[in-house]
Structure 1
Amino acid sequence: MATMAATSPLRNLEDEVLCSICLDYLRDPVTIDCGHVFCYHCIIKVCESARQPLYCSLCKTAFKKENIRHVWQMASLVENIWRMKVDEERQPREERPSEQRAEKLCGQHLEKLHYYCKDDQQILCVMCRESREHRHHAAVLLEKAAQPYRGKILNHLKILKGDRDRIQNFQSTGEDEIQALLAKFQSHKQDIASVFEQGHQFLREREQYLLEWLEGMEQELTEGKNSHVTRGSEEVVRLGTLISELEKKAQQPALELLQDPSDIISRYPRKKFWIEKPISPAIKKRTEEFSDKLLSLEKGLRGFHGKLIRDLEYKTMRIILNSQTANGYLSVSPNGKSMIFTGLWMNKHQHGQRFDPEPGVLGSKGFTWGKVYWEVKVDRIWWGAEEEEEAVKYRGGTRGVFGSSYLGGFIGITDGYSSPGYRDESEELEEEWSQENGIWPKFCLVGVARESVVRRGFLNFTPEEGFWTLQLSSAGVYICTSPEPLQILSYCPRQIGVALDYDGGKVTFTNARTEEFIYEFSSSFTGRIFPFLWLNCMRSRLTLRP
């Protein structure tokens, strides 16, 4: 602190004798109307370059050129301060304060560096500036020489600070958005837990209701069983007693037997023969009602399964057929959304990727990842009002109750679950076709296929061959298995939903109208998987949706 105090007066004096225009020691100092002092040549340059009126560069006060006056005392003061500076610089290094010893000195004169030579672009001390080598060069104080570079640095620093501020603002805004989205996710988690808890509670209540109903019927049936057994046992005992007495009577001698023959039947009368049904008509009726409730529950759960698959997990895709792969007997619409079987060879030009002779076609886009969903509408020209009315008289599909097969398919445990083959009054019927060799003929296939499937010759549309399809016929829905197709539905839905989970290796089919689950293939996909349609009926049309 003492050292700094010792050097402070000289440094303060240096600041007082610097020209604010050239930032160097005052040379031939002059003063203007406001009292500020400048180098004579500096202020004259200002007067020559500026327009009238003239203003002081420090206080912005107007002044006149003719009022500029020399300040000889200031010139003497500047010279004295300059000499003191020179003497200080010439002081031996070891005698200087520690602050000055740490400063960088001229390598030749061991003096403090004060100036910058613009001509040679060198940093000079006082001795170097007065030397013959630099005496006539343009030399300025280091601070003035560094000012342009400092300005550039400050400008670039301003830009960098602006970038930093923008990044920080962007980061802060991004963090706010992330936090808001995370809070939204937390809210969604709570909503999901709440919705599923409500669903679980609803199902538990329905389950308890059905179980209580079933237990009530079991109790009633058990009580009826006990009553039936007791009543029957009592009747058997009574008849056994009569039979025993009559057997003894029959063994009596004729003299005893004929003493009162007319009284035998009256003394052992035959009552009306007892018979009672083991199950009452009321219980039978309630059992049928219970079976109908189970069927309704089963159908509702299948619809629930299909809807969740479509709405929650899959992205609905707009599928377009690739006419270059279509068999010659197929006619693909100009928009690629539907096709019909013409029965006539429509394409004269052969393409290597075309199916032949199988009447099949692939979609224009294949999939190698993700979960996608689309629908296929099946139109038959004889599906009309008469068939809608006949739907009430539906064909005898199996009417069953829940089994392990259904539950396994519903929760995704078993591979290839098939739903029970029953239909209700809302399902449409198709015209009866004749059976050939015990098998109902197919009229179309709906599903997916590998890009690399064989397209020449007659094909087996099985997963082993790269096809995962449902086979639709007048008798219902089948899956292609070896050696014979396996029936999974006894009716043919009009609109099939196809859900492809490439990464999960699943192809799921649903009834798109009722959202009921139909069937699910499990496999391991390789290469591109394409939508696939196959049609072999002139009175049918397949249309892709949406």
Structure 2
Amino acid sequence: MHSAMSLQIKCSVCLSDFTDPVTLSCEHSFCRECITGHLQASLGPSTCPECQRPYNEEDLKSSRLLRNMTSSVREHLAELKLDKSTSKEGAETLKLSEMERMLMCSEHDEKLKLFCETDQKLVCVICRDGDKHKGHVFKPVKEAAQINKGELKTALGFLAKDNGQLGYMIQQQTTEITKTEGKSKSLSAQISAQFEEMHQFLRQKEEEVKKELEKEEKKVTEFMQNNQSVINRRFMENKEKEIILQSALEIEQPDHFLQWWTEKGCPMTKNMKQKADMTPSNIKYTSRVKDLTVLPDSLFLGPHETHLQFFVWKEMMGSIKPVPESLTLKKSGESYLKVSPGGTRIRQADRVTALYKDFNPGTVSEKNFQAGQHYWEIEVGEKPDWTVGIKMGAEKQLSATKSAESEILLHLKHSKGYVLTCDGKDTTLNTRDKPQKIGLYLDCERKQVSFYNADNMSHLTQINYSSKQPCCLTLVPGLYLDGMNSDPLTVCSYEFNTGKH
């Protein structure tokens, strides 16, 4: 009875009587210190240890009723304990005798006075001399207990140290998770801001093009409306004459008709004739339509009507930052390798013989990179053989026939297709498209190199490196292939603000 009662005042976390008990919204109760520690130790959303229902610090409600009940049950159990102290002494004596029987050898009915270190078990003196424990090492129970307790303390100390480190790692990981979540929110805001800049540019450009359309519409319609006014004026004049003439024909009395003819009809018809002295047989009237024309629709916005998206995209590129970086390639001392005067293009020199047909020299960028993130685009066009990549170290040039241990290279080999070389090992890449431009992204902070199809910005591959040396871009124009691969590799420039691309 009292055992069941005592369970009602025990915290399920510490398994002790409640201390300053609090109740959650799910109606489960715990010590305030226990549930607060559980809350702080949780890496994610905290859940009730009993029913796994989520809770937070605001859900902790002090339970005065449970605190009073805990005190009352303690007092009641203390009284029961006092009343049964005598019977408890008898029970302890009985329990001691039972323990003594338990520590007797079940085989020889002797006390277990020795500990077999070989088998790690208690034995009696007779067991020691038997064949089962022949050659084993024995220790007296007390000595063996002290030795094993010492080992247990050592293990306990190790666990305490290990758990301390694990607890510290949990705190660090929680910090990093919080940092990542904060960074994600910051990046989300940054992404929204950058898209808002583009939206704002597009909205502004939309207003400009619409205003241009309104201006052009006003200009064209004004000209057409002036023409329509002339046509309307002549139409009304002719319509008025038509009505007058039609009314004259309805005059029945000849004398009245001739009187009208004399006063109005003759002058009116005379003005309508091409020549005033024409005879009745060849009368021709002057048309008021011949010199008029209906002006067709001429509203046209030029490229903003036929190529609107492309022209706006080109304008928008001038406001986009950052853009792929420009760089200069080092001049090569090789006579078979030509670098353009601006240092942005490289190609195999033209040849008149088949000598050195397998000679495949290359060069690197003048600038090295050891921090930050960098992106370049290299135009490879329709070349059947080329190499683009990153080289670690300060060597001046690279031969594609020898793969260095400090290179990450993407090749198009005319006989093998696309190949990635890292640490001297080749890996074949499967890609459906044949890029005209290769994008190369170097992340010096995370030590990653990524390659992209810059035509549609699809990801080709990514690889990590461990070198701490500065990096540089390396380009190899590929084998000459009897002149079929003489086109250059070009480092693209996106200097829109100066009109260069």
Smaller-chain TM-score bracket: 0.3 to 0.5
Greater Rg by CA:
1
Query: TM-score when scaled to structure 2?
Result: 0.40
Query: TM-score when scaled to structure 1?
Result: 0.37
Structure with greater contact order relative to length (CA < 8 Å, sep ≥ 6): 1
